[in-house]
């Protein structure tokens, strides 16, 4: 008789573990475990959308850890610091004890020759090695990414090259022949940055004239490493180049970041079998937009739906608010928020921490100031140390990065949908790239980004079956509204947040 297929062994072991350990409410453990086991056995790529995120209490990591720990070969697992800490401190010890497994587990930035265990590594370490053509991670070793929702952001951070004010000084000092020209270009860029109106990002893309002036400088032997990296990245690779000015000190930073990530990443995926695990990568099962942006080819794609009984939330979306880009929106938003806080703070419906996400930076400051004037020290802006009945005012990036460290909110209010801002130079460069390719930049970039951020934002609210208040009527009246509500599903629509809190 032939050897038993590892999928069946993994299925049985995980099923028995869940029974003995009290189980877990996530209903897809066994299916996902078999998928990962098959991918490891056959060396085929797979993409799995779990519908939950690392911040969730549901331990979906058990589903991929069981086949990894039972696999006889080395496996690389890429995850954020938070994910790696949870695996090391809780999930891996639990499964190792149950299995009686002695498969070695290490954390590091390279896979040593002959190591046949599980290596935990960071996205930064893996990307910096692979993109530079390093040998820290040998070809052919199965690699799993937990947190694929963040892969584009991680890649952009790895590929972005920065020039600091000190780098300007260093090049001027090291290049006497063109030092004055370098200084003149720096002064010209600072002056033109001063002339531009301020924006929340304190940054602006360089126009053609500014890029032409920068392009007149000549790489030389005295060029510092940061400038050499910058010149290797620009102008040889299309992308965004922007300046950031510290107006108080008159200091200028330059940044360059490629926009066509698929061009960079596609060769990497051919070097080893890949398993992608994300919460919400795309509304479609096959994730065509996500795969195109990252240069991914054909693979097994699975999308799990949230458990309607355990993961539903209450959704309040008033229909008679003004559009966010109108003058009437700000006072209407403040009235709604006052009413929400009143309801959420009442004795009958006390919600504990109330979270309000305002993506627009100037509007966030106005909302925070007005609510602080009315509710005092209960109101905190992007802080961790919160009173039990606190009111947290947060932007999207703060909430995305720190929601796992904050107390659970039973009431989450969203002022506007999380579309990336065109005032962000990186976003404007991405949009310009799609326009040059004659592609639908809204459908392929802005909308998928907003849907992913929205699904992640509400994940903690699902865990407590709380109430989400959506105060952006574009979700109701725009053609893409159906996709917004599909991303929020499953939910129970209520005609008052008070109903959800009861």
Q: Which residues of 173-183 are buried (b: 16+ CB within 10 A; e: fewer)?
A: eebeebeeebe
pLDDT band at 2 (very low <50, low <70, confident <90, very high): very low
In a domain, 441, yes or no: yes
**Element at 75 (helix H, strand E):** strand 75-78
DSSP-derived secondary structure letter, 443: I
Over 60: is that where the pLDDT of 249 sits? yes
In a domain, 308, yes or no: no
Query: pLDDT tens digit string along 439-489?
Result: 999 999 999 999 999 998 998 888 788 899 999 999 999 999 999 999 999
Residue 45: per-residue pLDDT: 97
Tokens of 125: 């370490």
Residue 27: per-residue pLDDT: 87
In the chain, the percentage of residues whose pLDDT exceeds 90 is 73
Residues 154 and 164 reside in one and the same domain? no
Residue 23: per-residue pLDDT: 63
The two beta strands, 239-246 and 143-146, are unpaired
Residue 408: per-residue pLDDT: 81
CA distance 245 to 253: 6
Asked if 253 contacts 162 with a C-beta cutoff of 8 angstroms, the reply is yes
Asked if 84 contacts 126 with a C-beta cutoff of 8 angstroms, the reply is no
Residue 312: per-residue pLDDT: 80
Over 60: is that where the pLDDT of 4 sits? no
CA distance 412 to 349: 14
In a domain, 339, yes or no: yes
Residues 463 and 432 reside in one and the same domain? yes
pLDDT band at 56 (very low <50, low <70, confident <90, very high): low
SS3 358: coil
CA distance 177 to 202: 32
Tokens of 343: 């309801």
Residue 351: per-residue pLDDT: 66
E-state strands within 384-425: 391-394, 409-414
Query: pLDDT tens digit string along 346-357?
Result: 756 666 889 999
Query: pLDDT tens digit string along 377-419?
Result: 999 999 988 888 899 999 999 998 888 788 888 899 999 999 9
In a domain, 229, yes or no: yes
Over 50: is that where the pLDDT of 1 sits? no
381 strand-pairing partners: 393
In a domain, 351, yes or no: yes
Query: pLDDT tens digit string along 140-194?
Result: 999 999 999 999 999 999 999 999 999 999 999 999 889 999 999 999 999 999 9
Residues 138 and 15 reside in one and the same domain? yes
Rounded average pLDDT over 226-233: 92
Over 70: is that where the pLDDT of 495 sits? yes
In a domain, 389, yes or no: yes
Supply the range of the domain harboring residue 182: 159-258
Residues 474 and 326 reside in one and the same domain? yes
In a domain, 1, yes or no: no
The lowest-confidence range among 214-218, 260-264, 461-465 is: 461-465
Residues 343 and 219 reside in one and the same domain? no
Residues 6+ apart with CB under 8 A from 21: 94, 98
Q: Is the peptide bond before 487 cis (omega within 30 degrees of 0)?
A: no
Residues 192 and 150 reside in one and the same domain? no
Residues 270 and 241 reside in one and the same domain? no
Q: At what angle do helices 261-269 and 151-159 cross, to 10 degrees?
A: 110
pLDDT band at 136 (very low <50, low <70, confident <90, very high): very high
121 strand-pairing partners: 78
Residue 306: per-residue pLDDT: 75
pLDDT band at 21 (very low <50, low <70, confident <90, very high): confident
Q: What is the mean pLDDT of the chain?
A: 90
In the chain, the percentage of residues whose pLDDT exceeds 70 is 95
Rounded average pLDDT over 17-22: 88
The two beta strands, 161-163 and 251-258, are antiparallel
Residues 341 and 453 reside in one and the same domain? yes
E-state strands within 398-485: 409-414, 467-470
Alpha helices in 203-301 (DSSP H): 208-215, 225-233, 261-269, 288-294
Using CB atoms within 10 A of its CB, is residue 405 exposed (0-12), middle (13-18) or buried (19+)? exposed
CA distance 52 to 65: 16
144 strand-pairing partners: 77, 275
Over 90: is that where the pLDDT of 34 sits? yes
Query: pLDDT tens digit string along 308-338?
Result: 666 788 999 999 999 999 999 999 999 999 9
Residue 498: per-residue pLDDT: 79
Rounded average pLDDT over 28-45: 95
Strand order in the sheet with 203-205: 161-163, 251-258, 239-246, 203-205
CATH number for the domain that contains residue 130: 3.40.50.300
Structurally, the chain folds into a number of domains equal to 3
Residues 195 and 92 reside in one and the same domain? no
What are residue 76's phi and psi, to 5 degrees?
A: -105, 130
Domain boundary among 258, 288, 323: 258
Residue 170: per-residue pLDDT: 95
Residues 97 and 186 reside in one and the same domain? no
What is the CB neighbour count within 10 angstroms for residue 16? 11
Residues 96 and 193 reside in one and the same domain? no
In a domain, 394, yes or no: yes
Residues 6+ apart with CB under 8 A from 118: 68, 69, 74, 75, 77, 92, 103, 104, 105, 106
Residues 297 and 387 reside in one and the same domain? no
0.85 exceeded by the pTM?
yes
CA distance 139 to 31: 28
Rounded average pLDDT over 299-315: 84
493 strand-pairing partners: 315
Over 80: is that where the pLDDT of 24 sits? no
Residue 57: per-residue pLDDT: 53
Over 50: is that where the pLDDT of 138 sits? yes
SS3 346: coil
């Amino acid at each position: 008789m032939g050897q038993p297929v590892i999928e069946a062994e993994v299925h049985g072991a995980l099923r028995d573990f869940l029974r003995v350990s009290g189980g877990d409410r996530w209903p897809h453990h066994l299916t996902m475990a078999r998928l990962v086991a098959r991918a490891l056995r056959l060396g085929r790529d797979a993409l799995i959308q779990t519908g939950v995120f690392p911040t969730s209490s549901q331990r979906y990591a058990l589903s991929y850890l069981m086949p990894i720990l039972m696999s006889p070969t080395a496996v690389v697992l890429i995850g954020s610091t938070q994910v790696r800490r949870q695996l090391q401190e809780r999930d891996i010890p639990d499964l190792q004890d149950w299995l009686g497994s002695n498969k070695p587990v290490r954390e590091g930035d390279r896979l040593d020759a002959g190591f046949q265990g599980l290596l935990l590594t960071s996205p930064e370490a893996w990307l910096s090695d692979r993109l530079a053509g390093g040998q820290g991670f040998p070809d052919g070793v199965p690699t799993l990414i937990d947190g694929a929702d963040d892969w584009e952001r991680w890649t952009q951070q790895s590929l972005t090259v920065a020039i600091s004010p000190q780098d300007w000084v260093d090049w001027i000092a090291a290049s006497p022949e063109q030092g004055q020209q370098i200084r003149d270009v720096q002064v010209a860029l600072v002056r033109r940055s001063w002339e531009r109106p301020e924006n929340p990002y304190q940054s602006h893309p360089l126009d053609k004239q500014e890029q032409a002036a920068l392009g007149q400088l000549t790489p030389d032997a005295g060029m510092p490493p940061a400038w050499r990296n910058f010149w290797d990245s620009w102008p040889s690779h299309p992308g965004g180049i922007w300046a950031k000015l510290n107006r108080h000190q008159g200091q200028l930073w330059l940044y360059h970041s490629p926009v066509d990530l698929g061009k960079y990443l596609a060769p990497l995926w051919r070097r080893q079998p890949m398993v992608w695990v994300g919460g919400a990568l795309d509304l479609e099962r096959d994730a065509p937009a996500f795969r195109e942006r990252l240069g991914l080819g054909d693979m097994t794609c699975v999308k799990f739906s949230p458990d309607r009984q355990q993961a539903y939330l209450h959704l309040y979306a008033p229909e008679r608010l003004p559009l966010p880009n109108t003058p009437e929106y700000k006072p209407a938003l403040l009235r709604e928020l006052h009413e929400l806080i009143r309801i959420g703070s009442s004795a009958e419906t006390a919600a504990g921490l109330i979270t309000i996400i305002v993506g627009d930076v100037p509007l966030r400051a106005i909302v925070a100031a007005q609510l602080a004037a009315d509710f005092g020290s209960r109101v905190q802006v992007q802080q961790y140390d919160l009173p039990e009945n606190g009111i947290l005012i947060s932007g999207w990036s703060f909430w995305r990065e720190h929601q796992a460290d904050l107390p659970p909110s039973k009431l989450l209010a969203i002022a506007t949908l999380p579309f990336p801002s065109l005032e962000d130079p990186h976003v404007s460069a991405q949009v310009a790239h799609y326009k040059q390719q004659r592609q639908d930049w809204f459908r392929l970039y802005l909308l998928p980004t907003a849907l992913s951020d929205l699904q992640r934002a509400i994940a903690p609210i699902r865990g407590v079956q709380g109430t989400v208040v959506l105060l952006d009527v574009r979700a109701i009246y725009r053609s893409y509204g159906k996709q917004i509500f599909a991303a929020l599903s499953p939910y129970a629509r209520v005609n008052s947040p008070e109903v959800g809190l009861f």
